[in-house]
Amino acid sequence: MPKAGSGLSLDGLGMPLWLVVELTYKCPLKCPWCSNPVDFNRYRNELTTEEWKAVLREGRRLGSLQLGFTGGEPMLRRDLEELVEEADGLGYYTNLITSGVGLNEKRLRALKKAGLKQIQLSIQACDQELNEKLVGLDVFAHKIAIARTIKAEGFPMVLNVPVSRYNIDHTAAFIELAADLGVEYVEFANLQYYNWALLNRAELLPTREQLARSEAEVKAARERLGKRLTIYYVVPDYHDNRPKACMNGWGSIHLTIAPDGTALPCQEARLIKEIEFPNVRHHALDWIWTRSPAFNQFRGESWMKEPCRSCSEKEKDFGGCRCQAYLMTGDAANTDPVCAKSPHRHLVDALISGAETRRDQKPLIMREGGYPRRTGAR
């Protein structure tokens, strides 16, 4: 995902500068906040190697520059090296976004040879026990070992921490771990509450006090470590009173292709069931990006309602996130309810105070195929 201070304020001249390819929804892990669709198991007709290559070529022709290989777990695709090589040849800056499962020294070397530029590795806890509780499998030792191998092979690396109530108190320990691993960047990504995270929201939302402590720890570490380690901190959405400038605007610089070839303005957008998103199997990417009704639905400002329409902030935040407006108000064209001016802001406030007062703990619903069940640890 684009980081603050990087692509966010960029004028792409109408080009999809960021192309994200979700090679598969399959994944051996079961993160109960996974951003993949809750019914991910329904989408099994993944694009073939040749179909992905065509997407890469068309994307480059449209002006895409940054390319993210993600999923599910992209390492499950045996043709990843071949796709990276194709992408590098086309002139993309290639990023791999992985849990590390399926990654080994041999494949790292092949990826390096294919021209892979950067790896983002996710880590969910600083110890084996909590990590296993959160992802459902004993993979902590492997993650640490593979992080060291990634550095030994000379890749720049982002350590990604998906932040929830369960791991937020370990902020300082994560920073220490990142410094010890010698990574260039650590990203604390407070969870975004869509799909699996939405199912588990009441269990995952941190308290205000937890957030304040973690932010203070980040501030102290930035002062201490300076240029040695860059710390990105994706602020929690709900606790702000202005919405995030989601995706720099709908259909502005960001294009995601889902495993089955569905083209999306952001990774979560297919949860808006009223919109029919075009598929690269049936349409040229050029048409999808510039002309399709789905990509034009919330482009620019003409679709906005009040209070956004007459607000001076609309060029800065584009009215926030369409998916969040849809999930919380039932209409994707409404103002993001995170905004203090939204008539729905009380819904967000109720969630925040819910996190302060909650007493009973429920088990987490782990990401699995089939119908979501409460099977996780308490």
Ligand X SMILES: C[S@@+](CC[C@H](N)C(=O)[O-])C[C@H]1O[C@@H](n2cnc3c(N)ncnc32)[C@H](O)[C@@H]1O
Chain contacts with other proteins (rule: CB under 8 A):
1-3, 5-7, 10-11, 13, 15, 17, 63, 65-66, 68, 93, 95, 117-118, 120, 156-158, 184-185, 223-227, 230
Cα–Cα distance measured from residue 214 to residue 233, given in angstroms and rounded to the nearest whole number: 10
Q: Which is nearer to ligand SF4, 68 or 320 (CB)?
A: 320
Choosing among ligand SF4, other proteins, ligand X, none, which partner's interface includes residue 235 (Cβ < 5 to 8 Å by kind)?
none
Could you tell me which stretch among 34-42, 45-53, 167-175, 348-356 binds ligand X (CB under 6 A)?
Answer: 34-42
CB of 100 to ligand X, least distance (A): 8
CB of 160 to ligand X, least distance (A): 4
Tell me, letter by letter, the H, E, C secondary structure of 365-376: ECCCCCCCCECC
22 binds ligand SF4 (CB under 6 A): no
Query: Which residues, 295 to 324, sit near ligand SF4 by CB under 6 A?
Result: 307-308, 311, 313-314, 317, 319-320
Cα–Cα distance measured from residue 85 to residue 210, given in angstroms and rounded to the nearest whole number: 43
Q: What angle do CA 182, 183, 187 make, to 5 degrees?
A: 140
Q: Which is nearer to ligand X, 205 or 304 (CB)?
A: 205
Residue from 339, 348, 355, 364 that binds ligand SF4 (CB under 6 A)?
339
237 binds ligand SF4 (CB under 6 A): no
Cα–Cα distance measured from residue 241 to residue 254, given in angstroms and rounded to the nearest whole number: 24
Cβ distance 84 to 114 under 8 Å? Answer: yes
By CB neighbour count within 10 A (0-12 exposed, 13-18 middle, 19+ buried), where does 138 fall? exposed
By CB neighbour count within 10 A (0-12 exposed, 13-18 middle, 19+ buried), where does 152 fall? exposed
Q: How many residues does the chain have?
A: 378
336 binds ligand SF4 (CB under 6 A): yes
Residue 60: which residues within 8 A CB-CB, separation 6 or more? 90, 91, 92
Tell me, letter by letter, the H, E, C secondary structure of 242-259: CCCCHHHCCCCCEEEECC
Q: Where does this chain bind ligand X (CB under 6 A)?
A: 27, 33-36, 70-73, 97-99, 122, 160, 162, 189, 191-192, 197
Q: Where does this chain bind ligand SF4 (CB under 6 A)?
A: 27, 29-31, 34, 36, 71-73, 99, 242-243, 307-308, 311, 313-314, 317, 319-320, 335-336, 339, 341, 367
